[in-house]
Amino acid sequence: MNAALAFLGKYWKGITIAVLLFVVSFFWWQDHRGLVNAYDASVESYETRIKELKESYQRETERKEAALKEYKEKVFILESQYLDFKEEMALAKEEKVEEYIALRRDNPEQLVREIESKFGFEHVR
């Protein structure tokens, strides 16, 4: 035991430096391990968020495509209805023109009365 105390007494500075070096190395290792764990958790979190964003983008793209398809279908229906309406109006106009031509030929006085009643002005001869 005296030999150990003599050894410690003679080399206490070196032993203290070695122990301090070991303690500093241990704490550095713990800190490094904590940083690595934090980095791994951060990477995992980012990967999860990226995956969720990709899924969200996919759902949004599908909704956008469905809305666009619905829009195109409605536009097609409206265009066909408009063309049908336009054709009906052209036929109705044609019928009215023929009716007024026949009325002018057969009964011009009746045509004059209709014009006066519709537009509110008087026929001058």
User: What CA–CA distance (Å, rounded) separates 21 from 14?
Assistant: 10
User: What CA–CA distance (Å, rounded) separates 109 from 103?
Assistant: 9
User: What CA–CA distance (Å, rounded) separates 56 from 52?
Assistant: 6
pLDDT at 11: 87
In a domain, 26, yes or no: yes
pLDDT at 59: 97
In a domain, 114, yes or no: no
In a domain, 78, yes or no: yes
In a domain, 98, yes or no: no
Lowest mean pLDDT among 17-26, 73-82, 112-121: 112-121
In a domain, 57, yes or no: yes
pLDDT in tens, 77-100: 999 999 999 999 999 999 999 998
Q: How many domains does the chain have?
A: 1
In a domain, 113, yes or no: no
Q: Mean pLDDT across the stretch 88-114? A: 91
In a domain, 94, yes or no: no
Confidence of residue 22 (pLDDT cuts 50, 70, 90): very high
pLDDT at 122: 81
pLDDT at 107: 86
Q: Domain range holding 48?
A: 2-86
pLDDT at 8: 82
Confidence of residue 75 (pLDDT cuts 50, 70, 90): very high
Which residue in this structure is represented by tokens 């190395």? 25
CB atoms within 10 A of CB 3: 7
